[in-house]
Amino acid sequence: MATVSFDKATRVYPGSTKPAVDQLELDVADGEFLVLVGPSGCGKSTSLRMLAGLEDVNGGSIRIGERDVTHLPPKDRDIAMVFQNYALYPHMSVADNMGFALKIAGVNKADIRKKVEEAAKILDLTEYLDRKPKALSGGQRQRVAMGRAIVREPQVFLMDEPLSNLDAKLRVSTRTQIASLQRRLGITTVYVTHDQVEAMTMGDRVAVLKDGLLQQVDSPRNMYDRPANLFVAGFIGSPAMNLVEVPITDGGVKFGNSVVPISREALSAAADRGDSTVTVGVRPEHFDIVEQGGGEAATSLSKDTADAPAGLAVTVNVVEELGADGYVYGDAQVGGEHKDLVVRVNGRAVPEKGAKLHVVPRPGETHVFASSTGERLSD
Ligand SMILES: Nc1ncnc2c1ncn2[C@@H]1O[C@H](COP(=O)(O)OP(=O)(O)OP(=O)(O)O)[C@@H](O)[C@H]1O
Ligand SMILES: [Mg+2]
């Protein structure tokens, strides 16, 4: 077992001036499951391949445990990698596929058989050991690829989108299997995915990358509750956080007919940046509906019966009913602009298309970001 540290690790591909991975600083604890996530092209695979020794490091360094591995060949790093296409050898049995690396390493037959059988037991592959890969389902092939990594008892597992060849349902069950297997084996793991749900459900911690730059490293909970900037706020969470740019008024921001209070620290931080607006983030589940109805039949849920109802008027365009919950996709006028918003509603009382909802962000559940720099201003 081992820790992994990226220390300002940088990769600039030949012919490019912009680094694909730019001064990555990341420490993975012994036994930790760390997920690298971000949109396509953000540098996830490059980071993993640098750790594996498959890609040159042009600046900074990488350590596994106490060893500086920056310029070591892959075979000397004591890692095992699981790729997106499992690349099983089609002419070999499952057992031979799983034991192949050990055979190359000169391990004797009896020891190989023992390790393969142990791994097969863990992965529920015992009855398939004599089959060829083509006679297996996608999920079973994926487990053989995992088995090939496990038998090597490496210090670190590296996985690059290992589930992306599986259908949606199998992906969900397999991600649970991999996460629980990793916890049982306790082997430090760096796992790459572009799927934020996969990242949030599997990782002890999640590292978000964008354009080769690390945005935030945090536990899934903190990442969701306190995204460090606008990018992370919009990337983590499904449906995504609502982000609206609103003018700063006395002590808060104007949200339709309501003023949403903002902490003095956040307001003065915005002023320090010379901003007259802030970008407020509200997750779909953090709106309170204060009034709901379709024009004349409007029913007021608020005690306040003044003419203009409190909050922001949202016109319902689409309603997604998921059983327990419903999501309203609507639009509203915010800060003089048309804005699409998503509001979670009770699945048993969903509004109709064309109806108007008046919503206010729940107190204490708003996120405030600098409109100019995107960084988080609220705590
Ligand atoms: N061999 C290469 N030569 C030149 N540029 C490369 C090479 N491999 C990757 N890149 C570029 O480096 C950047 C990061 O690529 P990388 O493969 O690390 O992205 P990724 O986050 O894994 O994306 P995806 O989710 O699509 O797999 C991209 O802009 C890509 O075009
Ligand atoms: Mg990739």
On whether both 258 and 364 belong to a single domain, the answer is: yes
C-alpha of residue 41 to centroid of ligand 1, in Å:
5
Can you give the pLDDT at residue 294?
Answer: 57
Tell me, yes or no, whether 212 and 335 share the same domain.
no
Residues with CB under 5 A from ligand 2 (ion): 45
Pair (256, 189) in one structural domain: no
Q: Calculate how far, in angstroms, residue 95's C-alpha sits from the geometric centre of ligand 2.
A: 29
Regarding whether 219 and 257 lie in a shared domain, the answer is no
Q: Do residue 310 and residue 250 come from a single domain?
A: yes
In a domain, 323, yes or no: yes
The pLDDT value recorded for residue 1 is 64
Residues 94 and 136 in one domain: yes
13 CB within 6 A, ligand 1: yes
Q: Which string of b and e fits 40-54 if b means at least 16 CB within 10 Å?
A: eebbbbbbbbbbbbe
Question: Would residue 180 count as lying in a domain?
Answer: yes
pLDDT of residue 55: 96
Closest C-alpha to ligand 1, atom 25: 40
Query: Ligand 1 within 6 A of 193 CB?
Result: no
**Residue 91 counted as domain residue:** yes
Domain count, the chain: 2
The last residue of one of the domains, among 234, 260, 276, is 234
Chain centroid, CA 288 distance in Å: 27
Q: Do 247 and 301 sit in the same domain of this protein? A: yes
- The CB of 20 under 6 Å from ligand 1? The reply is yes
Query: Measured between alpha carbons, how far is 320 from 12 in angstroms, rounded to an integer?
Result: 44
| CA of 21 relative to ligand 1 center, distance in Å | 9
Please check whether residues 118 and 246 belong to one and the same domain. no
CB within 8 Å of 220: residues ≥ 6 apart: 199, 200, 201, 203, 205, 206
160 CA distance to ligand 2 middle (Å): 7
Q: Is residue 288 part of a domain?
A: yes
- Check whether residue 210 and residue 333 sit in a common domain: no
Same domain, 194 and 284: no
Which residue, 202, 234, 266, sits at the end of a domain?
Answer: 234
Range of the domain at 346: 239-369
Check: CB of residue 112 under 8 Å from CB of residue 103: yes
378 in any annotated domain: no
Across 1-33, b (16+ Cβ under 10 Å) vs e yields: ebbbbbbebbbbeeeeeebbbbebebebeebbb
Do 207 and 271 belong to one domain? no
Each residue's pLDDT expressed in tens, for the chain with a length of 379 residues:
699 999 999 999 999 999 999 999 999 999 999 999 999 999 999 999 999 999 999 999 999 999 999 999 999 999 999 987 778 999 999 999 999 999 999 999 999 999 999 999 988 899 999 999 999 988 899 899 989 999 998 999 999 998 888 888 888 988 998 999 899 999 999 999 999 999 999 999 999 999 999 999 999 999 999 999 999 999 999 999 999 998 888 778 888 888 888 888 888 899 899 898 999 999 999 999 987 765 444 444 444 445 677 889 999 999 999 998 999 999 998 867 889 999 999 988 899 999 999 999 998 899 999 999 999 998 8
Ligand 1 pocket member 19 (CB < 6 A): no
Q: Is residue 377 part of a domain?
A: no
User: Are residues 272 and 325 part of one domain?
Assistant: yes
Q: Which residue has the tokens 């609220």?
A: 378
Gap from CA of 196 to ligand 2 centroid (Å)? 14
Measuring CA to CA, which residue among 281, 278, 280, 259 is closest to residue 270?
278
Burial of residue 35, with CB atoms counted within 10 A of its CB: 0-12 exposed, 13-18 middle, 19 or more buried: buried
The residue among 206, 234, 262 that closes a domain is 234
Q: Give pLDDT, residue 64.
A: 97
Of all protein residues, the one whose alpha carbon is nearest to atom 14 of ligand 1 is 43
Burial 356-371 (b: 16+ CB within 10 A, else e): bbbbbbeeeebbbbbb
Please report whether residue 14 resides in a domain. Answer: yes
Q: What is the CATH number of the domain that holds 59?
A: 3.40.50.300
The predicted model scores a pTM of: 0.91
